[in-house]
Amino acid sequence: MTTRDEERAARARARVRDFLAGEPRVLAGSLVERSMICGKANCRCHDEPPQLHGPYAQWSYTVAGKRFTRWLTPEQQRRYRPRIEAGKQLRELMKELEHYETLSVERAEGWGR
């Protein structure tokens, strides 16, 4: 591993460590806002142009390979959005760390890259 690789990996580890030192509360998944069409034929959402219902907050996450989706109230969205965003940030930090660690192993073993 080159000194540059070691420095990049060390900085990535430090970012993960610093993030976790703040004891963040994290949730997996993503939060999206959706607008919907209902089942009532004479509703405004079927007009041209449609006037959709919503937006409604939807949280989706995966556990043991199974996808779950939950509709959130505005209060739940306010409470859980920071945790979902913290989870995304942690996943991005880990992805960066894994990238530099993988790169260092490939270079150390002479596998190219």
What's the pLDDT tens digit per position in 12-51?
999 999 999 999 999 999 999 999 999 999 999 999 999 9
92 in a domain, yes or no? yes
Query: What is the domain extent for residue 43?
Result: 3-108
Confidence band, pLDDT 50/70/90 cuts, at residue 82: very high
**Could you read off the pLDDT of 42-55 as tens digits, one per residue?**
999 999 999 999 99
Q: How many domains does the chain have?
A: 1
**Does residue 79 sit within a domain?**
yes
Backbone phi and psi for residue 64, each to the nearest 5 degrees, phi listed first: 50, 45
Contacts of 100 (CB under 8 A, 6+ apart): 5, 8, 9, 12
Is the pLDDT reported for residue 2 higher than 90? Answer: no
Q: In what order do the strands lie in the sheet with 30-36?
A: 30-36, 53-63, 66-72
Q: Residue 113 falls within a domain, yes or no? A: no
pLDDT at res. 107: 84
